[in-house]
């Protein structure tokens, strides 16, 4: 299966990686700012999920969700908070 997890805006990858590093650091994870995707292995270890580098087809959807959910969920919450803050600032002008 082709990998479909790509950004719609090609130049946004760096900003998304920065956001991931910021959000997960604030949640108390040890994040390498040069490679924020590594935080998923720390989350997997905490959950007792055998996530490995490379192919992980042996993981169930539930296990994969326990790893990716906290990352994506926290990123979305932060993006919503930033958007609300921006809207609030624009309405005060």
Domain assignment present for 71: yes
The model's pTM is: 0.78
Overall number of domains in the chain: 1
- Averaged pLDDT of the chain: 90
Tabulate helix, strand, coil % of the chain (nearest 5). 65, 0, 35
User: Does residue 2 lie within any of the structural domains?
Assistant: no
Residue range(s) defining the domain that contains residue 69: 10-91
In a domain, 1, yes or no: no
Output the pLDDT for position 50: 95
Alpha carbon distance 36, 21 (integer Å): 5
Domain assignment present for 15? yes
What is the tens place of the pLDDT at every residue in 22-65? Answer: 999 999 999 998 999 999 999 999 999 999 999 999 999 999 99
11 pLDDT above the threshold of 90: no
């Amino acid at each position: 299966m082709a990998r479909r997890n790509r950004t719609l805006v090609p130049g946004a990858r760096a900003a998304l990686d920065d956001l991931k590093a910021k959000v997960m650091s604030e949640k108390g994870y040890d994040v390498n700012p040069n490679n924020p995707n590594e935080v998923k292995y720390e989350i997997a270890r905490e959950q007792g999920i055998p996530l490995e580098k490379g192919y992980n087809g042996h993981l169930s959807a539930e296990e994969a969700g326990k790893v990716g959910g906290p990352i994506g969920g926290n990123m979305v919450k932060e993006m919503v908070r930033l958007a609300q803050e921006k809207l609030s600032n624009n309405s005060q002008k």
